Chains A and B, each alone.
Chain A
Amino acid sequence: MSVVEEIVIKINDVQVESGKSIESFEQVANRFLDSVISFQNEVRNISKLANDLSDYIYEGFDNVDKDGYLQFRAKLQDVIKRLNASYLIFRKNETVYSSSKEVIREFKCSILDLTEIATDLEVSKIELENDEDFKSLAKQINDL
């Protein structure tokens, strides 16, 4: 067989194989995209729930007294801990993170907002009551 014929055969081999591969690569790529979309939808869903919770607590903040807060304090802290743990998992996995950066960034913002309102609850309903420096300032402001 001549060199030219060998080359033609080899080209044919690659052509046939790449034809098969394009089809299977496309299937693999579609499966990967489906899983990325599914993951993003799940993360968006959790972000929305966290945002709704943060907004609800914000709007109802003044209607929560100390006893009421103590009823859900531990649960709220646990939820934030779990959300942070999930975020760390997403962040650590390069493939997951690079495929869904924006969604994961928004998820982090949701966690920070929920943490902020939880901190405000803790400060307002628990800490300030026991803060002598603060109570002294409050008395001075009362007298202004």
Chain B
Amino acid sequence: MCTYLSTESFRTQISKLTKKAKDGYSSINEDVCSVFSSLKHEDIVQLSTTIWEEETFKIKKIRIGNSHLKLSKRDGFRLFFLVRKDRKEVVFLFAYPKNGCHGQIDIPTKDRLNLLKEYINTAGSLVKHDIANSLAPI
């Protein structure tokens, strides 16, 4: 069983997206959980797409559907995360919708680097989440 952790940037973003139900992103926690709750660690390591791989980790960017708005994986959310290969740990770095008022086309390279820096600087104080309970903090 994997441990699921997050950085502040991820949590702040989720909070922003779920603040107003009418924005259409309120299902993001459940949508993220629905992807990971049925996967073993080795499955997560193999998920497409791998942006970068090192000896002990992979950085991934995956598509997730938006069940609230019934949007496909292509039109739903993107989740940017890191999965450790040396231990059963997944770290959520950022998520964004493709459409709607908070829609983004992509994460610029500069922002990706900042997310990784944040992970490095706060590795000791990441928040743990329950993947079986809508990413509730543990």
A116: CB under 8 A from chain B?
A: yes
Interface extent on B, as a size class?
A: 20 to 34
A54 CA / B61 CA spacing, docked (Å): 14
B52: chain A residues within 8 A (beta carbon): 124, 128, 134, 138
For A93-137 the 0/1 string (1 means CB < 8 A from B) is: 000000000000000010011011101100110011001011001
On chain A, the residues within 8 Å of B106 by CB distance are 116, 119
Range of interface residues on A (Cβ < 8 Å): 20 to 34
- B40 within 8 A of partner (CB): no
Please give, as numbers and ranges, the residues of chain A lying within 8 Å of B116 by CB-CB distance.
134, 137-138, 141
> Are A127 and B74 touching (Cβ within 8 A)?
no
CA distance A128 to B61 in the complex (A): 15
Name B74's closest neighbour in chain A (CB-CB): A113
Contacts of A112 in B (CB 8 A): 105
Q: A29 to chain B: closest CB distance in Å?
A: 34
Interface stretch, picked from B12-20, B43-51, B128-136, is: B43-51
Is A62 at the interface (CB under 8 A from chain B)? yes
Which of B49, B54, B98, B113 is A62 in contact with, Cβ under 8 Å? B49
Q: Which residues of B contact A62 (CB under 8 A)?
A: 46, 48-50
Query: CB of A2 within 8 A of chain B?
Result: no
* Chain B residues positioned under 8 Å from A131 (CB to CB): 109
Q: Which residues of B contact A58 (CB under 8 A)?
A: 48-49, 63
| B interface residues, Cβ below 8 angstroms from A | 46, 48-52, 54-57, 61, 63, 74-75, 82, 98-99, 105-106, 109, 113, 116-117, 119-120, 123
Could you list 21 A-B pairs, sorted by A, with CB under 8 Å?
A51-B74, A58-B48, A59-B48, A60-B48, A61-B48, A62-B48, A116-B106, A117-B49, A119-B106, A120-B49, A120-B51, A124-B50, A124-B52, A131-B109, A137-B113, A138-B52, A138-B54, A141-B56, A141-B120, A142-B54, A144-B123
Q: A115-B105, A137-B117 are in contact. List 15 more A-B contacts (CB 8 A).
A: A51-B74, A55-B74, A58-B48, A113-B74, A119-B106, A120-B61, A124-B52, A127-B109, A134-B113, A134-B116, A137-B113, A138-B54, A141-B120, A142-B55, A144-B123
